[in-house]
Amino acid sequence: MATPTEGDDASSLRIPVEQLLDRYGDGVAPIVQSGDPVLRSVARQYEGQLDNEVLSALVELMRRTMHAAPGVGLAAPQIGLPVQLAVLEDSAAVGEEIASTRERYPQEFLVILNPTYAPASLRTADFPEGCLSVTGYHAMVRRHADVTLRYIDLGGTSRLAEFTGWPARIVQHETDHLNGVLYVDKAEPGTLTEVTETPPVSSQ
């Protein structure tokens, strides 16, 4: 069997992306649910397989889908695309007590490609977490309270950024998605709970 060429790899991503954009236009994409293999696979590295116009359109589709859910983060596998791309944004529109307890600070819209994170301190935090790909449930998850994120931005520049509190949780949750990991894999035993309203962290 022939070794796939760079062009083959680009086509294998570009074609499903263009189909997704053609189908949903200026609307929102359906969110893949737990059980779909795409959520359990390590997404491929983004290496310029899409031209700037298509990549920008995909990012905007993901942003609309995240907002409509509503959520504070969305990874490409959650709309069926196995590529290392995620978007995050959080207005932190919660009460002062919750914001203080959870260190939930506003996070401006951010696009991350090929992200990796590492703890930036010894601090950890336990809070309930949910996911738009595991609808109807949330669970307590212990995460690093401070992380350093390496990623490529939308312009192709390598970046290094520090996140703390709730934004650090979002970063970890989304990056985990790109490695085939769901929050339930890291949940504290016995804490998975059925909910009838939007979970505290939706779509991460």
**Residue in 89, 103, 129, 174 annotated catalytic:** 174
Question: In the beta sheet, which residues pair with residue 86?
Answer: 75, 112
- Six-digit token string for 4: 């796939």
Q: Is residue 188 flagged as an active site residue?
A: no
- Residue positions annotated with a catalytic role: 174
